[in-house]
Amino acid sequence: MADYRNLLSPRALMPLLEYLRSIGVVQQPLTPVAATPAAQLLQDYRRHLLHERCLVEGTVRGSEEVARRFLD
């Protein structure tokens, strides 16, 4: 039998989670509303890094922190 222990990351579970959301078993995640234009920009940047660039959470946090400092 194949060893599936390495497939237990959040990224590996995304296809299953998206399928369950598409059939209505799991609710769509709530997206917090950004309070300022800079917060909205950071939120959009984070979404881009996660979904378009497929970066891991740690890399996204580091890039987001640099962007936050730049905007401040």
What's the pLDDT at 7? 61
**Cα 26 from Cα 5, distance rounded (Å):** 24
Q: pLDDT band at residue 1, thresholds of 50, 70 and 90?
A: very low
Is 14 within 8 Å of 21 (Cβ atoms)? Answer: no
26 DSSP 8-state letter = S
Task: Find the DSSP H helices in 1-72.
Answer: 10-22, 37-47, 57-71
**What's the pLDDT tens digit per position in 18-72?**
899 899 998 887 777 788 999 999 999 999 999 999 999 899 999 999 999 999 8
Angle between helices 57-71 and 37-47 (to 10 degrees): 150
Question: Where do the structural domains in the chain lie, given as residue ranges?
Answer: 5-71
